[in-house]
Each structure stands twice: as C-alpha cells, then as structure tokens.
Homo-oligomer: A and B are copies of this chain.
C-alpha cells in the first residue's frame, strides 16, 4: 500500500506518523517543496522575542527520525499536479517524475494574505508565516526602533509582544473595532487591549491599511488616515488555504471558507484523497464546517487522515475551536463561539460574565480571572472566554469538552471540581459564571 502526503507541516508529519503506525507495511512518502521538515510555527514569536535562541529547536523531528520511522521525505520537491484517475502525483524539483499512490493526504497548508498595495515590496516589510520570515526579521531587528504590526489577531499580537519585548516602539493596526475578533467578544477584547497598552503597545483600531511608503526601506504606514513612521512592518492578516492542487484535481471546496471540504474522516469529495491542516475545513460542534487553522487542529486532523489513509478507521469529533495564547503575563483563552459569532450564525444566545477569584480570600496565592460564558436560549453552552495571568487555557479545555458534549449551563454549574486553598476555589469560577447564566435563563 502506498500512502502519499503532500506537505510536511504539523498535519503532514502527523498523518505520516499515524499512517506508519496503522500499517507497518505501507510505503509512506511526504512531498515537501521547502527545504526543511515540519517545525513549530507557534514557536516563531518566541524566536522573535529571543526566548528561543536556536531555530533548529523548533523542528518537530530531524531527518534521521523520518528515516528511522520508515517515512520517505522528499524535500525541495513540488507536487505539480494530482491525477486522481491514475492515482498519481506529478513531481518537480529535487525529485521529478511521478509518484503513484493508493491514498493521498493533502496538507498543502495556507499562505499569508497580502494586501494589494503599492509599497508591499519595500524592504523591512514582512509576514510571519515561516522560519525564513522570522530569521529575516531577526536579521534587521538590530537596526529597527519602531514597528507597525498590521492585524490584531493572535499572530499579530504575539508578534507585537515579541517586538515590544525587544524594545521596539510597536503600533498594532486593526481593521475591526476590536482586537482578537476571532476568539473574543468586544468587552474581554478591550480588557486585553488595556493590559497590552499598559505594557507599552499602541493600538489603532477601525483602520484599514492604506499604503506602505518609503524609498527602499519602509518608512511610513498609512492606515485609517493616520501616518505611522516606522522601520519595520509585519503583515499579520491571516492565511488563505493553498487550493491550487485541490481545485485542479476537482476536489470539493467550501465556497465561503475557501478551504478543502472534508468529512469527519478527513475524506475529500474524491475517493482515496484526504486533507488535513490549514487547507481543510471539517464539521464543527454547531453542525457547520469551520476552518480552524490552529496547530492542535492540524495535528488532530492529520492523525485521523493518516490512520484512514493507511486503511484504519478513525473519526475526528466535531471541532470546537479551542484557543489559548500568552501575551506578556496574560493568558487569553476561548472555546466555541463568541456571542457575536453565535449571532452571525443566527443562534439566539445569552451570556454572563464576571471577574472572579480562583483562590479563597485568605489564600496567599492570588489569582483572578475574567470569564464570559455564552449559551443558547435553551441553555446549551455555546462558548466561553477566559482572560487572566494563568490557568485560563486549562479552563478552556474544560469548556471545550463541555461544548463537544453538548452540555448545558446547569450541568457546568453543578459539575464536580476539586479544590485546595493554594490551587483553587471551593466554587470553581466556571461553575459560578454558569450559575449566574442559569439564573438569567430562568428569568
């Protein structure tokens, strides 16, 4: 049995590894156009901040690992075309000719969205998608004193924090009226913004990028009527699935999400072809497909795709979209839908928010978290947002499982949590907010 995988990112590597475990006799081949096997993109902001010194440490596994695990890794090799009828992929680059497959996993990933503006080609204008980007930025960083980050999503903010921790003056420009619109509602987003401002970040919201100006090097950003002088620009406008191969091969693409549509087994519309990672959208807990371009999702989709591609049987539970980041000393986490997103899906919802202590009042360990929970009008949990110095992410895990299981607010309010004065509070704050929400629902 021949399993071919296009793209060696987190999804591709995981697919290969699980294909190998599932079928010891299979021939597993990864085609990767870049010169490096999979590394952690999530670590790039840490590299930028100088919290990681060695770029090589971001590699999930070195080439020896692929050899030792019997995974053929074709680097610097492009997949030019898929021939679904003949079950072949045409190759170019270091390896040419064609690669026959019995099953194929597309992990073609996504590319940074670039605005179509003059000045985009100026020096010191970067994206932060790949290791090369980070290394180039590090190279010019010594000569830069101010930066503009365009995009107030997670990657933009992580990059902004990294640059700020290097001592640069940093301004974040965001088109929408709030930061982190994908994971937070406006009020918690404002909390996060205030906290980042206290650490020296500047924000310009409601402002679209209009121009990049300068002679050779970028010197000024124009956005929402503001002129922002700067030595460095980071464009963090999100990423767009790479559909080139999929579209040409006739695979079904979700029109709205512009991503390869897969079912819970990661099967595309074409028998024997699977997709996973940043290029694929799969069913979510609300029933609709979502494109959830997170590392964890890439790994989980890759695992399911790899097992199925090698003849096993695996299914991905509906995606919740569970997220956490760390910005200076603030953990920002969320799971499921924001109130705004629920509204956009036409789901009538209700919410409760509170800032609560996670320790008894007498505890020497202080910790307060701001928690918001969102539920349907029938009381089903739809999402939650948690912001605080620590332990926000682990509470998002609890919410994630509750959402995946379709639990209601009352259930979370009466769930069993353990406590110790140095570790938690008798009344777990998630339960307390759920109880507030349950009372609202009864009215």
Contacts and interface: CB of A to CB of B under 8 A. Distances in A.
Nearest to A358: B394
**Most chain B CB inside 10 Å of its own CB: which residue of A42, A52, A331, A397:** A397
A314 to B, nearest CB: 8
A427 B299 contact: yes
Interface string A313-335: 01011011011111000010101
A113 interface: no
Interface in A288-308: 294-297, 299-300
Contact of A420 (B10, B325, B398): B325
A361 interface: yes
A405 interface: yes
A363 B54 CA distance: 11
A439 to B, nearest CB: 9
A244 to B, nearest CB: 27
Given A46-B362, A361-B57, A364-B52, A400 B423 contact: no
Contacts of A324: 418-420, 423-424
Given A52-B364, A420-B324, A420-B393, A316 B426 contact: no
Given A299-B426, A419-B295, A316 B42 contact: no
A83 interface: no
A404 B397 contact: no
Nearest to A424: B393
A270 to B, nearest CB: 25
A52 B10 CA distance: 47
Given A46-B421, A401-B402, A427-B299, A416 B364 contact: no
Interface in A348-402: 360-364, 391, 393-398, 400-402
Task: For the complex of A and B, list the 10 residue pairs with the smallest distance between their C-beta atoms, beginning with the closest.
Answer: A394-B394, A322-B418, A57-B362, A326-B422, A393-B423, A324-B418, A51-B364, A324-B420, A397-B417, A324-B423
Given A42-B421, A324-B419, A325-B423, 12 more contacts: A43-B363, A54-B362, A296-B417, A297-B416, A299-B426, A317-B411, A322-B416, A394-B394, A394-B395, A397-B398, A398-B401, A401-B416
